[in-house]
Structures are given as structure tokens and as C-alpha cells.
Amino acid sequence: MDGSQNINWYAIYVRSRYEKKVHLRLLESGVTSFLPLLDTVKQWSDRKKRVCEPLFRGYVFVQIDHHKEHIKVLDTDGVVKFIGIGRRPSVISVRDIDWLKRLVREPDALVRTVASIPSGKKVRVLAGPFKDFEGVVMKSGRDERLVVFFDSIMQGVEITIHPDLLLPFGPDAPVEQRSSSEKGDGEDEIASAVKHLVRP
């Protein structure tokens, strides 16, 4: 059997302000580690400074064979525990890791992180850097706020996005939109979204 079938992404909880240290120590020990960092500008009374801060405080992601490597991860200074239900760690989907990587590449669109699922309509992003993201939309002026929630770590990210780029889906979506989405025929919606992106 191919050993790679047992390799998955997991989230680990680390000591406060130890995210970068743990990430580097894991890499040095040969563990595949991912720490979503946001490049932001901090304003002090007398100066501005550009800093890199974790997207989710206290979380680092590792890609390992849990059976063989979990002790190595837990023995890393600063690591507290694996995130999961009881003693069973939660597997993080490759899709979620991809979404996190894409989120940190667009820091200007990120508003804040959230720790609970908001109420609102479910939507899918049709075009742009967040294409195929799914989340819950919240109205806020001309732009809408889309919350992308990661169930495995019970954390979400709120981003600003133009409403033209969003398509409702699921049981609450209008029948005609739901049926066209189910058939995979969303060319009209995508064309409209792309027109918006190139609009002067």
C-alpha cells in the first residue's frame, strides 16, 4: 500500500505567540508545516511598521502520517495538542488548505477572523482570486462581507467581495439558480462576474 495514503493535514494548537517558532522547528525536524501569515501594517503614534501575523492565533497546520509522526509533532517545543474531537484529530481537507493559502495572498480583502458561524445565505464565488470559495454572506454597503468558515478548527475569515461575484446555492437559493448550478451551467453568471472585473 502506498504510504502517502496515510498522509493528511492536521491542525495543532500551540502556545501563545509561539506560532512562528513552532512552524520553524517543525520544518527543521523534517515535518511539512504551514503557517498562514498576513502581511499587515501596524500604526503606532509615531511610526508605521509592516509585520507578519498569524491568520489564526494559536494554530499551525502539519501534513503528516499521524500514526508515525504525531509524537514528533507533540514533542516539538510550544505544541500543546492536535485539534480534534476527543482524542481523534480532525483531518483538514486539501481544499481548506488551498483556501487558506489563497486567503493570505489577498490581505487587503480580509476584514477579520471569526469564531462562530454567522447566519445568512450560502453563496459560491464565481470569479476572481476567491473563485469556488463557499461561505455565508453578510450585507455591508456596496461590498458584501463573505465569511468562509473552517469547521475542522471552528474558525472563520471575513472578506470583502463584490455581490456580482456571488451565486446563492443550497436549499435557500432561488429554484432557477439552484437548478443551473446543479447542472454545472453557470456561464451567464461567470460572464457577468468577469464583465464586472474589467469594468472601468
Over residues 47-79, the pLDDT tens digits come to 888 888 999 999 999 999 999 999 999 999 999
Please give the grid coordinates belonging to residue 149. 468558515
Identify the residue whose cell numbers are 500500500: 1
Judge whether residue 98 has pLDDT over 50. Answer: yes
Judge whether residue 199 has pLDDT over 50. Answer: no
Residue 141 pLDDT class (50, 70, 90 cuts): low
Question: Averaged over 109-113, what is the pLDDT?
Answer: 91
Question: Averaged over 111-129, what is the pLDDT?
Answer: 90
Domain 3-92 has CATH 2.40.50.180: no
DSSP annotation of 14 reads E
Residue 195 pLDDT class (50, 70, 90 cuts): very low
Distance CA 130, CA 107 (A): 12
- Lowest-confidence segment of 23-37, 155-169, 171-185 by average pLDDT: 171-185
Please give the grid coordinates belonging to residue 167. 451565486
The residue among 49 and 172 whose pLDDT is bigger is: 49
Judge whether residue 185 has pLDDT over 80. Answer: no
Question: Averaged over 24-46, what is the pLDDT?
Answer: 90
Distance CA 164, CA 167 (A): 8
Residue 174 pLDDT class (50, 70, 90 cuts): low
pLDDT at site 143: 78
CA angle 161, 136, 145 (to 5 degrees): 30
Judge whether residue 140 has pLDDT over 60. Answer: yes
Judge whether residue 200 has pLDDT over 50. Answer: no
Judge whether residue 184 has pLDDT over 70. Answer: no
Judge whether residue 193 has pLDDT over 70. Answer: no
Mean pLDDT for the chain overall: 84
Judge contact between 176 and 169, C-beta under 8 A.
no
Judge contact between 8 and 82, C-beta under 8 A.
no
pLDDT at site 158: 94
Question: Which residues on neighbouring strands pair with residue 178, listed in sequence order?
Answer: none
pLDDT at site 147: 94
CA angle 120, 121, 125 (to 5 degrees): 120
122-125 and 110-114: which strand pairing?
Answer: unpaired
The residue among 98 and 174 whose pLDDT is bigger is: 98
Q: Is 184 left (phi over 0), alpha (psi -120 to 50) or beta?
A: left
Distance CA 79, CA 14 (A): 4
Q: Domain limits of the chain?
A: 3-92, 102-197
